[in-house]
Amino acid sequence: MSANTTSAKHAATPIGATVDEQVLVLDFGSQTAQLIARRVRENNVFCQLVRHDLPASRIRQIAPKGLILSGSPSSVYGKGSPQPDPEIFNLGIPILGICYGMQVTCHTQGGEVAPGQTREFGHAPCRVLSSSGLFDGVPQEFQVWMSHGDQVRDLPSDFEPIATTETCPHAAAKHRTKPIFGLQFHPEVTHTEHGGQLLSNFVKKVCGCRGSWRISDFIESEITGIRQRVGNNRVICGLSGGVDSSVVAALLAKSIGDQASCIFVDNGLLRLGEAEEVRDRFSQHFKTDLHVVDARQRFLDELAGVKDPQQKRKIIGRVFIEVFRHEAKSIPNAKFLAQGTLYPDVIESGGSPDGPAATIKTHHNVGGLPDELGFELIEPLRDLFKDEVRQMGLELGLPEHLIWRHPFPGPGLAVRCLGEITDKKLTTLRQADAIVIEELHRAGLYRQVQQAFAVLLPVQSVGVMGDDRTYEDAVAVRAVQTDDFMTADWFHLPYDVLQRISTRITNSVRGVNRVVYDISSKPPSTIEWE
């Protein structure tokens, strides 16, 4: 649940406002640009994505320690191909070009880029010609991951090769006098051996970063910033019980105490025991001013007879807004709305003035609260990736089982209860879902699976229980493994785990006599069934 970032007043946080050293990634459209930033942060160096054409004058104001130019699906000679401000190469800031980033660097500096004799996609053995600086501590020969059609045919006169492959003579290059480097391969992907070492060498040995960025420092900085911005006003937080909103609520509790009010809408579509846990965690442990709205019957009434999944989503979103708005009016002097927007959300929605220009999706983090609420947004997680948010939650004292909980869809069990929704069906689904999760924990597999759940199917089948013939419901079990949730593969659960899940569900969940396992990948399927 959350408010639409485009429907409320929001003051964008300037890049570098909370850090003393950082590296910028100029995004030319690479699918792995976010991964570059994430890999840099693994070195405790703050890193953000910015527009590929960010002016050199603006970069000088930000004063980063280094620049990384990402890959791109474009060709440097293609019509409308993305180009950087050529003045960035005169700033004296260390630069690392990756794939297209190397090509556009060499092209800008007078080199020649042309289609390679063979297009390279996949592993290639790389041989290091100069092991100092960027390749310090890296073996002379190692495997790299290539993904390119073009390559640098002739280096600029001021550049020299520092690594080569059988089909790419300039697999890596550097400027003879300036701290400018290029890699034709992708060090950010796990397929490249020692890729993390290469990026670490760049940010620490070349850029001179100390690696001093810590989540604990970030927490203290955000606490101070929230206190200064809020003053004596109140902040409302839409609390769903998920990781992101829970971390925001915990941070507000630490920073402004009873000036924060959390609204938790119990829509009746939550997992087993979830509503009770939220109440206990945030009213008792964090002593939050928690407003619990019991809207279970209202949601059920509105959803009665509805089978279409899109219609379900629209109804749930509308009713949530109405319930949230009504409760928000009861909180006096509330000027701010806090939500758990993450850094990938900011990137993909074009929510940063210096960030990548292309909008991949319209971001709705908490459900689209309308303009008339008149709140200013507070988004304390908008500079963080998901794993950093989890780390932040642990440092704030949230329990591990909440921090590492699998993602849960905004519409809740409504999109896992196929067909018409009734209170009886939801009870059945909650019980089956709890068994799936319990057995994954019991087998030590919960953290290996990125998302797992039960689905109640609108299908009945014949069964036999004792001497009686049954005609009852079927439950599907879904478990997937994924790095980014854009693609996913079904998780190969051991047969004994599947057997325990099936036996427990059919024996203890009344009305279910059949359990099936979903072995579909994404694509062509989606992770959720609706």
- Supply 293's token pair: 């709205």
Residues 476, 416: contact at Cβ < 8 Å?
A: no
pTM, full prediction? 0.72
Q: What is the pLDDT of residue 9?
A: 46
CATH architecture for segment(s) 22-206: 3-Layer(aba) Sandwich (3.40)
CATH 3.30.300.10 domain position(s) in the chain = 416-517
Q: Is 186 a catalytic residue?
A: yes
10, 52, 99, 222: which is the annotated catalytic residue?
99
CATH 3.40.50.880 domain position(s) in the chain = 22-206
148, 175, 186, 364: which is the annotated catalytic residue?
186
Q: Is 262 a catalytic residue?
A: no
Residue 467 region by backbone torsions, left for phi larger than 0, else alpha for psi between -120 and 50, else beta: alpha
CATH 3.40.50.620 domain position(s) in the chain = 215-403
Closest CA to 261 of 297, 230, 215, 294: 230
CA 69 and chain centroid, separation: 21
Q: What is the pLDDT of residue 18?
A: 54
Closest CA to 429 of 415, 417, 412, 420: 417
Measured at the CA of 341, the angle between CA 400 and CA 18, to 5 degrees, comes to: 90
For each of the chain's 530 residues, which pLDDT tens digit applies?
Answer: 433 333 344 444 444 445 679 999 999 988 788 889 989 999 999 998 899 999 999 999 999 999 999 999 888 888 889 999 999 999 999 999 999 999 999 999 999 888 766 555 678 899 999 877 899 999 999 999 887 678 888 999 999 999 999 888 999 999 999 999 999 999 998 889 999 999 999 999 999 999 988 888 889 989 999 999 999 999 999 888 788 889 999 999 999 998 999 999 999 999 999 889 888 877 776 677 889 999 999 999 999 999 999 999 999 989 998 999 899 989 988 899 998 888 877 776 555 556 564 433 333 443 445 555 678 889 998 888 888 899 999 999 888 888 888 988 889 999 999 999 999 999 999 999 999 999 999 999 999 999 999 999 999 888 877 667 788 999 999 999 987 676 789 999 999 999 999 999 999 999 999 999 999 998 888 899 99
Residues 233, 256: contact at Cβ < 8 Å?
A: no
Closest CA to 346 of 389, 383, 390: 383
* Calpha distance 115→148 (Å, rounded): 9
Residues 28, 74: contact at Cβ < 8 Å?
A: yes
Q: What is the pLDDT of residue 291?
A: 92
Q: What is the pLDDT of residue 17?
A: 47
Domain 416-517 = CATH 3.30.300.10: yes
CATH architecture for segment(s) 215-403: 3-Layer(aba) Sandwich (3.40)
Q: Is 10 a catalytic residue?
A: no
120, 188, 222, 439: which is the annotated catalytic residue?
188
Q: What is the pLDDT of residue 14?
A: 45
Residues 472, 512: contact at Cβ < 8 Å?
A: yes
* Calpha distance 53→88 (Å, rounded): 10
